[in-house]
Structure formats: structure tokens, C-alpha cells
Amino acid sequence: MSDLNTLESEILAAIDAASTEAGLEDIRVAALGKKGSISEQMKTLGKMSPEERKTMGPALNGLKDRVTDAIAARKTVLAEAALEARLASERVDVTLPLRPSPVESGRIHPVSQVIDELSAIFADMGFAIAEGPDVETDELNFTALNFPEGHPARDMHDTFFFNEKDNGERLLLRTHTSPVQIRTMRTQEPPIRVIIPGRTYRCDSDQTHTPMFHQVEGLVIDKGSHLGHLKWILEEFCKTFFEVDDIKMRFRPSFFPFTEPSMEVDIQCDRSGAEVKFGEGDDWMEILGCGMVHPNVIRNCGLDPDEYQGFAWGMGIDRLAMLKYGMPDLRAFFDADVRWIQHYGFRPLDMPTLAGGLSS
């Protein structure tokens, strides 16, 4: 019996000293497992005499029950301590302010904003949006637009060419969105009224030029279009886009291979202060190029220039954004600086509409 008392004392002491549930489980296995110290004692009952079993049987069963109860009690204590430690470590300070949601912290890039504004304005005039690939053929980017082979106007575009193919053809990154005009006229029957926003590429980089920039062009083809329609569209666009009641425009003769006559357009502005103001003042600022579509371009698209005529215009989306929202350097548009986008960006849910205001 003294051996059982010693064994019980050792096991109970180990149980009290257990600091983790895993350590307590090891003690349980060592005492009550198949080869545990108490289990080994239980196996000796079969070799004892009836008189010895009457004494040792109750003693061993009592020891087993006391050890089981001690283990259960200690397990409850350890579980409560572990829960308290977890609650302390994972405590949430409910007094802290919530982090802003992505809808609150995210910003729309000014280029995307201006494209949405352009789309809203011209959609109200009945224009659809046309798109095309960034990689184009020489024929669509130049030849079909009345750029003759070897013409110096091709060099003005500083084109990014791909390696020459086996058949001698060289693909290129489009230098303007005008190839989409050709694609549209070749696939749609007039009347045609589309705007073409998209990326364009030229080998140029400074404060007002980047190798990749954004351009929007407009195209109207039907049987009765004329310069009066073009001037009205551009005037209404400028008034709506710059959100002024009235604006003066100046059309100057120019040259573009794909239009005849060709014009560059200046708009009235005031540069006397820290920012440019449109619709007032005595200064002028060039904003876009336009003209009547050249008969050769119409002919290259399979249409009869004696039956159909039209006009087109083109302007830089990045430049429009700079003029309207006061960005000083075009290169910052593509620097991926989160501070810049937080300052100049637009809230995601503030979609531009003519009724609610383009930039409200």
C-alpha cells in the first residue's frame, strides 16, 4: 500500500505542476495509458490471491478515480487560463476609428475621368464610341489616311516600328487613333458619328509629351455634313467640358494629310493669374486640330467622295485634363505616385453626367 501512496503522490504532484494541456495529456498517458504506471499495477491483480485482491482491487480503483478527477480538474483550470490569455492577446479596441473603405479611399485617374466626361458630352450629341487595336499596320496608320510613301509627314510622328516580317511588312504602335476611322468607314454604312478615345504612341518625352499618351478623335460621315456642323459641335463641346456659359473659338488654316481644308482651333482664355481660365480674357490657346475628311481617305474606305463627305477632329485627352484640372507636368500622369492620384484623382462613385455636372 505504501507503494501506491508514493505513486499517487508523484502523479498528483505532476498533475499540479502541468502548465499546458499537452503536458497534462502526457501525464495522463503515463499514468492511465495501456502501459501507464497505474495500468501496470492493475495487471498484477490476476496473480494475487483472493484475499490480496479484496484489498488491492478497491485501492487501485480508488487511485485511478482520484487521478482521473485530478486530471479533469487541472484540465479545466488550464483551459480557462488559455482562454483568458487568448482574449487578452486578441482584444479589439472598439474605440479605434474604422479604416476607410476602398470606395472612400480609391481614386479614379484623371485620364479615365476625362474619357468619361468626353463620352457623356458626345453621347448626348448622338455619337457612338469606336475602338481599335494599339498595334496597327502601316497601311491603316498612314497610307489609307493619305500619307504617301516617303512623305515627310510620316517622320513627324516619330513612330515605334516592330521588326520587319518575312514578307516585308512592318507593324507599328499607332501614332494616332485615326486608323479606327478607316476601320469604321470600311465596316459601317454612313451616316457615321463616332468618337475614338484610346492610347497612342510616339517616340517623344518632355514636360508636355510622353511616349504613350491618350487621344480622342471624332468622325462624322454623311451626305450633307459641312464646316458649320463641325464648328457647332466643337463649340458646344468646349463650353460643356470647361463648364462655361460662352466661349470664343478661332479657326486657323493648317495642314493634315487626311483633311482638306485643315484647321487648328484656339479657344479664348485668360492666363493672367495662377491658373488658366476659359471663356474670358484676351489670350488664345491651341486645343485641337480638325478639318473636312480628305476625298482620298473617303475613297480609300470604299466610299464615293462625290456622294459622301464628312469632318473629323482630334485632341489630346491628357492635355485636356491638364488644362481643366491644373496638372503642370504630363509625366506625372504615369509615375504611379499614390500621393499624386490622391490629390488629383476622383471619387469612384462620382460619375460625370450632364445633368449632375461633369466634375462635381
Q: Which residues are annotated as a binding site for Mg(2+)?
A: 260
- Could you give the C-alpha distances from 298 to 196, 260, 289, 305, in angstroms and in order? 18, 12, 19, 6
In the chain, what is the straight-line distance between the N-terminal and C-terminal CA atoms, in Å? 92
Annotated binding site: 260
Exposure on the CB side of residue 283, measured as CA atoms within 13 A: 12
Q: What is the dihedral of CA 313, 331, 115, 229, to 10 degrees?
A: -20
Q: Are 111 and 198 in contact (CB under 8 A)?
A: no
Least Cα distance to 175 among 156, 200, 146, 211 occurs for 200
Residues 6+ apart with CB under 8 A from 265: 234, 249, 250, 251, 252, 286, 287, 288, 289, 290, 313
Q: Are 312 and 294 in contact (CB under 8 A)?
A: no
Exposure on the CB side of residue 74, measured as CA atoms within 13 A: 23
- Alpha-carbon distance of 344 to 103, in angstroms, equals 16
- Alpha-carbon distance of 267 to 249, in angstroms, equals 5
Q: Are 286 and 314 in contact (CB under 8 A)?
A: no
